[in-house]
Structure 1
Amino acid sequence: MKKFYLFVFTLISLNGFAQGLPGLGAGTTPNNKPILHGKNWVAITGKPLGATAGAAIFQQGGNAVDAACAMIAATSTMWDVLSWGGETQALIYNPNTKKVIAINALGYAPTGATVEFYKSQGMDYPPQFGPLAATTPGTPGGIMTMLAEYGTMSLEQVLKPSMELAKGYPIEAQTANAMEAQKARIKQWPYSKKIFLPHLGEDREAPSPGEIFVQEDLYKTLSKLVEAEKEALSAGKSRKEAIYAAYDRFYKGDIAKEIVRGTREQGGLFTEADLANWKVKIEEPLHVNYKGIDVYKLQEWTQGPALLQSLNILENFDLKSMGYNSANYINTVYQAMSLAFADRDFYYGDPAFVKSPMKGLLSKDYAKERAKQIGENNDPKIMAGDPYPFQGETNPHLDLLKKNQMALAELSTEQINRNLDEKFLSDFLSGTTSVETADDEGWVVSVTPSGGWIPAVVAGNTGVGLSQRMQSFVLDEKISPFNLPEPGKRPRVTLTPSLAMKDGKPFLAFAVQGGDSQDQNLLQLFLNVVEFGMDIQAATEAANFNSYQMQSSFGDHEIRPGAIVLRDDTPIWITKELASRGYSIELWNKTSGPLNAIWFDWKHGSFWGGSSDYGDDYGIAW
């Protein structure tokens, strides 16, 4: 009986506080973690020590960009499902221009990385692990570009926390245990083995939780960046010029040479020209308006526009009247996501190489047509639509869409109702981290850095773990003619920070880790706040549902039509109704993902930070 009453209270707390229940108000929800209230700044990320790095920068007078850069550097050093050879993508609100800026620091495919090459290796997709999975490093360039263009501090100041961590820090259990679990693969790569397995020959070869984990090679690499900055400053260069001098040393100097040497030694494709020619891109983000709120995402080299498409579709329904996580609500949102993600799977890719029909895809009229496809029962054979007429063009890929339709028509009941096995879930939910910062000057930063997670190939004696992002390409144009590998091309990634503006001011900054589930969780967090009035901490902890009716961007790129994961306190009458509507249901005790978010309280001039109770994510505010 106690469990029943607790469950009813939870439902009331999530769905009713903002509606004026007696004695209860917004902000009083009994969350598992407290709301972070701040007047001056907020710093939230995937690890407590990462948040501490951001707090230290804020305490020294840095702005939100400075702090975000320090947090990315720290979490990369701590291997929080990323490392220094990974990728960084960010949205930044600049209070001086009152505009949202997009940072594209995703590496690209190296020389020789073609469809033909991977097929010649007997592969159906680029590999998940190893040197042939690596795009060129993006995170160092992303950090230095953000800092040079929008920060206030020196690179030395911002890298100080990560350099101290590289000298040695007490490693957390999650990372240490990942090293031990993956040691068979790690032993294939000599430079990775040297770092990750300090106790070779013992029963446990990886560090133990709490052991001081030292990365001498990485410390030397970071020291070289600081050295390049100091030399430039001594030569009379400006702060910005000095940071870019460090940038050049990484991508064109001795660090680049060692990255290329060490990668090629282990079977990779990098050339020095690949690193020298790669550049961070500062871009215009995409956005849509949902009920007076402008929601910003990165361009279609990410999955971010799928959230925007979902919002456009859902604007045609009265979600609030359906009720939070009712059967009707779940069915409607699930199918809206299925429609948007089917478009993602087929149409999204690097706009520098192929022009996706984004005008049509983000058209409100196209969304209305897609919304008409949502019925009372789930359709496991939803496929990509045709947005070209909504931008006044003819679709050049109708033959490929027809082939996809024929393939979907042949799906059997057994294929549709497959279980969510461990490997599929591991691929689908491949993680990253997130970084959210804001300050009292008005700067806001939302980042999802990733790549180079354990097991990672370390590039020679640099201490830099390489990305595994090549696996997000496909090799069959029937799956997507927009996302085929070519040298210099960026894969379409799952990484997807978010910013929302209301009345010309920041409203919400939010991000999450979790592979293809990211924009699902972010969509539901946004709706939790906007439609159901939840405070930001309640919104991060609330029971989400996860769909697997879209192609995984990792591993074998599988799809599980109709599969849905609900939190295990979902009422049985809802699970039964969803099952009768064609859903294959699994129940988990946590479903919201490690969401991190900042809500802006303009009435009181303060920040509200939320960090879900899913994992190690942590925030500090002042």
Structure 2
Amino acid sequence: MKRLLSALVISSFCYANPVFAQQTQKPVLHGKNWMAITGKPLAATAGAMIFQQGGNAVDAACAMLGATCTMWDTLSWGGETQLLLYNPKTKKVIAINAMGVAPTGATPEFFKSKGYNFPPEYGPLAATTPGTPGGLIYMLANYGTMSLEQVLAPSMDLAKGYPIEAQAANMIEKNKDKIKQWPYSKKVLLTHPGEQREAPEAGEIFVQQDLFETLSKLVAAEKAALKQGKTRKQALMAAYDRFYKGDIGQEFVRGSKEQGGLITMADLANWKPVEEEPLKVSYKGVDVYKLKQWTQGPVMLQALNILENFDLKTMGFNSPKYIHTLYQAMNLAFADRDFYYGDPNFGPQEPMKGLLSKEYSRQRAKLISFDKNNPNIGPGDPYPFEGKTNPYLHLLKSRGFEMDTTQRNFAPKHDLTNHSKDEVYQERLWLGTTSVEAADKEGWIVSITPSGGWLPATIAGNTGMGMSQRMQSFVLDSTINPFNVVAPGKRPRVTLSPSLALKDGKPYVSFAVQGGDTQDQNLLQFFLNMTEFGMNVQQAAEAPNFNTNQLWLSLGGTKTEDRLPKPGQILLNSNTKAEDRETLKKMGYTPTYSDRTSGPINAVYFDWKHQSLWGGSSNHGEDYGIGW
């Protein structure tokens, strides 16, 4: 990594320099026909198998999604899926929203009656309705070419038994006391009950018979429909219905209720994946696409709009001025995220037109002072940029924010609580998922950030499927965010944030990362590494970055103090120069240091000059890619 920094100074614009490429810890992946990248080597192999059988990128993405869920790559089958997809036939980017919703009975009053300030982070009451099975089937039915039987074959093989990796096995052991609270989780995950180590050992063949039977039922429903003369799509929807309206769903609901959950069969039957038009902004001629405001994705778009007002390249890669400018821009965007983002299918309507307007961003950019960190950044007022009056000024003022645009915004006193470095807090900030990136020579591209059902997970009955924990991303108090208050049927505002960028009307780069609230921080820096500093996709993925903690946490903890922003706290890479450390301290920052300053970034770059694909997968975690 140190060599990477020095090389950047010498050859930051040598985009395809093979000598420079060797400075990374992992090589660039090259492919002519396809690229498959995800969070586990075996799961990337699953995508490669589908490609080799003639599937397109959608088929391969479905196989990788299923495999990562089966391997507990910080998610399971009862979680959620959200993705961006480029259709080469229409030349359009579409979004598929397969985020689950709050179940019947999930109200602020219900959770407050149990002593929560936020919905819980573990257990059946943390669960939204499962979205991944429906999202996978919808994507496959509408944009893939293969059958469910074909794309689930790798997952079913894994469920019958695979050598579990140390990462997942040790996570099970670490959390075995929680896992013992839930009988179905204990049955599946603790393979050596009563022994000193109750979790599987690394390399042990880990068998999930219940999950295998559940996946077999989905395939059986598809096959039965085909025998009846149904079309491919109708047969896939028969499998969908067996999950959301049939015996699989019934067992899921039964298992949830037995353990104290709220999900009903009506909740499953009423839920469906939604195809959406993504949000986008243009940054110096590159169109960047993100999911809508039920995710944090627009925060990167807002930050890009703000940063477009500055000459970042002249500042120098990771110079104190560059770090400071990005930190301030991200804080401005995250302050808006924390107050204005929520499910657009529920009122009130979020002011996204104003938030993403260039004029609003120029106003926000003027709040950046180059001499010190501003710990008092709060939400702005985007409503005038939509020709409207802000209906929530009273809430902002009740929190102590000053909305006069001639002044700086002031954070409420409780937002300024100072905390020491806390490993639990940092784990919540990074709390991960996985990502799936797939592309093929026909032009199909899929970028997914699936999640939910991570370890320690509550398994729903005998389905073998871990339930989502995404309810914790709701708030119970409208003064924190009037758009994201929990309600039955509503999607929480999540951190999950796949990305796609087009240049000159053609795909440029597809990218995603795990890491909770840090996702769009890391993705922003990755994107700028390529566009401003000429790094190739692997260099951009490995390059040292930083994290801001000056935001409300979206995950972890049921008390307000667990979620509070930490103004000025910054996580820097351990190789940050001593003089830069001192400069940032004098500017009001409280730095901590780590060799790991990013979740694993996975990406595909489209080389139109040579008609080839470049894959990047960062050197953190077990993420892995295969190209051909």
Pairing 1:470–2:476 present: no
Secondary structure at 1:599 match in 2: strand
Pairing 1:366–2:372 present: no
- Quote the residue 1:490 is aligned against: 491
Instruction: Measure, in 2, the Cα distance between the counterparts of 1:74 and 1:610.
Output: 20
- Quote the residue 1:312 is aligned against: 305
Secondary structure at 1:67 match in 2: helix
Equivalent pair of 1:594/1:613 in contact (CA under 8 Å): yes
1:106-143 Cα shifts (integer Å, max 9, x gaps):
00000000001000111111000000000000000010
CA-CA distance at 1:18 after TM superposition: 3.6
- Quote the residue 2:413 is aligned against: 410
Secondary structure at 1:509 match in 2: strand
Pairing 1:557–2:563 present: yes
Instruction: Measure, in 2, the Cα distance between the counterparts of 1:549 and 1:386.
Output: 19
- Quote the residue 1:248 is aligned against: 241
- Quote the residue 1:11 is aligned against: 5
Pairing 1:285–2:278 present: yes
1:359-382 Cα shifts (integer Å, max 9, x gaps):
000000000000000112111110
Instruction: Measure, in 1, the Cα distance between the counterparts of 2:539 and 2:399.
Output: 40
Distance 1:20 1:64, change over 3 A: closer
Match of 2:588 among 582, 587, 603: 582
TM-score scaled by structure 1?
0.97
- Quote the residue 2:388 is aligned against: 393
Letter in 2 for 1:613: N
Pairing 1:118–2:74 present: no
Instruction: Measure, in 1, the Cα distance between the counterparts of 2:492 and 2:71.
Output: 25
Cα-Cα RMSD: 1.4
Pairing 1:322–2:315 present: yes
Secondary structure at 1:408 match in 2: coil
Equivalent pair of 1:54/1:68 in contact (CA under 8 Å): yes
Secondary structure at 2:21 match in 1: coil
Alignment of 1:136-155 (within 5 A): 136-155=129-148
Secondary structure at 1:19 match in 2: coil
- Structure 2 unmatched runs, 5+: 402-409, 557-561
Alignment of 1:489-508 (within 5 A): 489-508=490-509
Equivalent pair of 1:41/1:58 in contact (CA under 8 Å): yes
1:36-88 Cα shifts (integer Å, max 9, x gaps):
00000000000000100000000000000000000000000000000000000
Instruction: Measure, in 1, the Cα distance between the counterparts of 2:481 and 2:378.
Output: 12
- Quote the residue 1:449 is aligned against: 450
Equivalent pair of 1:568/1:587 in contact (CA under 8 Å): yes
Equivalent pair of 2:4/2:543 in contact (CA under 8 Å): no
Alignment of 1:190-339 (within 5 A): 190-339=183-332
- Quote the residue 2:574 is aligned against: 568
Distance 1:24 1:68, change over 3 A: closer
Instruction: Measure, in 2, the Cα distance between the counterparts of 1:498 and 1:454.
Output: 25
CA-CA distance at 1:403 after TM superposition: 2.1
Pairing 1:96–2:89 present: yes
1:137-191 Cα shifts (integer Å, max 9, x gaps):
0000010000000000000000000000000000000000011110101001000
Instruction: Measure, in 2, the Cα distance between the counterparts of 1:536 and 1:39.
Output: 16
CA-CA distance at 1:539 after TM superposition: 0.4
Equivalent pair of 2:253/2:460 in contact (CA under 8 Å): yes
1:484-508 Cα shifts (integer Å, max 9, x gaps):
1100000000000000000110000
Equivalent pair of 1:113/1:485 in contact (CA under 8 Å): yes
Secondary structure at 2:411 match in 1: helix
Instruction: Measure, in 2, the Cα distance between the counterparts of 1:395 and 1:19.
Output: 45
Letter in 2 for 1:385: G
Q: State the aligned residue count.
A: 613
Instruction: Measure, in 2, the Cα distance between the counterparts of 1:532 and 1:16.
Output: 12
Equivalent pair of 1:29/1:538 in contact (CA under 8 Å): no
Pairing 1:480–2:448 present: no
Instruction: Measure, in 2, the Cα distance between the counterparts of 1:482 and 1:317.
Output: 31
Secondary structure at 1:274 match in 2: helix
- Give aligned-pair identity as a percent: 65
Letter in 1 for 2:374: D
- Quote the residue 1:532 is aligned against: 533
Secondary structure at 1:608 match in 2: strand
- Structure 1 unmatched runs, 5+: 1-5
Distance 1:412 1:403, change over 3 A: closer
Alignment of 1:71-82 (within 5 A): 71-82=64-75
CA-CA distance at 1:17 after TM superposition: 1.7
- Quote the residue 2:373 is aligned against: 378
Equivalent pair of 2:84/2:96 in contact (CA under 8 Å): yes
Equivalent pair of 1:14/1:29 in contact (CA under 8 Å): no
- Quote the residue 1:3 is aligned against: none
Letter in 1 for 2:323: I
Pairing 1:357–2:358 present: no
